[in-house]
């Protein structure tokens, strides 16, 4: 392996400690409401992780668990109540939602000032316009990882593989705002390996286990792996074939221990940002 390892666990721990310090220094007790509908086991794990991390940072976290057959109108009423609750600074509705609930309607119902996921159309539009407000946690975490690793996007050729609303699109917008030359590649991209090989910063967010291999990586490039895929044998792998990419890249994030921990840390940061903004 030639690549330098970017230690997301360490960067996330430092960010969480920093959020805890700023919460205490401001004499705040920000409130975060997490809404979990149904019994998806992966979502339950994520929500417990978020809840624990929030408490450790001095953020009052409350998880609202609702049954799978919750009616959309009932969910919208609960969101309206959280919007009106002055003790709540951040609202996160865990995705994916059960069949029969329209995620776009749910996200649009959240007060944009409390939208710590950065998914509300107003926050999406602000980011697209280069005026980021509350921005999605995973791409924000990637930007903080790059900064911590001393890798500047300015003038760099960045290729984002994946165009999801949660990661790919906001990732591209943040890199553009940071003066990178950005390409968004996806499943229909012609000659994906050639596009990837142009990247100084390659962000993999496709959700396909070990799809990107070392031959697709420019020697010395930075490889950021957003993927978390569970294989049949139980192993957790990213969207990049780690050892072959690490043999070519200049720096790379591991899975687990790369981007994943940053997502939770950035949720805490967004909650603090929302709490401070709401208090003027
Ligand atoms: N499900 C997977 N990632 C996310 C995320 O960042 N936010 C929410 N709300 N749900 C998710």
Centre of ligand 1 from the C-alpha of residue 220, in Å: 31
Residue 95 beta carbon below 6 angstroms from any ligand 1 atom: yes
pLDDT tens, per residue, the chain with 280 residues: 689 999 999 999 999 999 999 999 999 999 999 999 999 999 999 999 999 999 999 999 999 999 999 999 999 999 999 999 999 999 999 999 999 999 999 999 999 999 999 999 999 999 999 999 999 999 999 999 999 999 999 999 999 999 999 999 999 999 999 999 999 999 999 999 999 999 999 999 999 999 999 999 999 999 999 999 999 999 999 999 999 999 999 999 999 999 999 999 999 999 999 999 999 8
Backbone phi, psi, residue 235, to 5°: -70, 145
Q: Is 191 a catalytic residue?
A: no
Q: 46 and 83: one domain?
A: yes
Domain count, the chain: 2
92 DSSP 8-state letter: E
- In the set 111, 117, 200, 239, the catalytic residue is 117
Q: 171 and 236: one domain?
A: yes
Domain that holds residue 219: 136-260
Q: 58 and 168: one domain?
A: no
Q: 102 and 144: one domain?
A: no
Strand partners, 252: 5, 223
Q: Cis omega before residue 96 (within 30°)?
A: yes
Q: Is 52 a catalytic residue?
A: no
Look at the block and give the residue holding tokens 């553009």. 176
What is the Cα–Cα distance from 54 to 19, expressed in whole angstroms? 10
Residue 166 beta carbon below 6 angstroms from any ligand 1 atom: yes
159 DSSP 8-state letter: E
Element (H, E) at 157: strand 157-161
In a domain, 101, yes or no: yes
Q: 97 and 161: one domain?
A: no
In a domain, 130, yes or no: no
In a domain, 145, yes or no: yes
Q: What CATH code is carried by the domain that includes residue 84? A: 3.40.50.10860
What is the Cα–Cα distance from 208 to 241, expressed in whole angstroms? 10
Centre of ligand 1 from the C-alpha of residue 46, in Å: 9
Residues 6+ apart with CB under 8 A from 71: none
């Amino acid at each position: 392996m030639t690549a330098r390892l970017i230690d997301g666990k360490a960067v996330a721990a430092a960010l969480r400690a920093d959020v805890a310090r700023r919460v205490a220094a401001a004499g705040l007790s920000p409130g975060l409401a997490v809404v979990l509908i149904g019994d998806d086991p992966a979502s339950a794990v994520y929500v417990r992780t978020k809840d624990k991390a929030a408490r450790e940072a001095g953020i009052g976290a409350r998880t609202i668990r609702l049954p799978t057959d919750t009616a959309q109108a009932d969910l919208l009423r609960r969101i309206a109540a959280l919007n009106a609750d002055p003790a709540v600074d951040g609202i996160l509705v865990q995705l994916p939602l059960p069949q029969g609930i329209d995620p776009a309607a749910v996200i649009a119902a959240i007060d944009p000032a409390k939208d710590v996921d950065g998914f509300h159309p107003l926050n999406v539009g602000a980011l697209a316009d280069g005026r980021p407000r509350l921005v999605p946690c995973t791409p924000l975490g990637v930007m903080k990882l790059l900064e911590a690793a001393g890798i500047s996007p300015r003038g760099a050729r960045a290729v984002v593989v994946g165009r999801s609303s949660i990661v790919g699109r906001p990732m591209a917008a943040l890199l553009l705002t940071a003066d990178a030359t950005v390409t968004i590649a996806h499943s229909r991209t012609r000659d994906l390996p050639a596009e990837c090989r142009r990247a100084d910063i390659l962000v993999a967010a496709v959700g396909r286990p070990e799809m990107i291999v070392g031959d697709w990586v420019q020697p010395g490039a930075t490889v950021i792996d957003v993927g978390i895929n569970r294989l049949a044998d139980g192993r957790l792998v990213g969207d990049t074939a780690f050892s072959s990419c690490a043999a070519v890249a200049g720096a790379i994030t591991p899975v687990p221990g790369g981007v994943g921990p940053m997502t939770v840390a950035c949720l805490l940061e967004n909650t603090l940002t929302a709490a401070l903004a709401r208090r003027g």
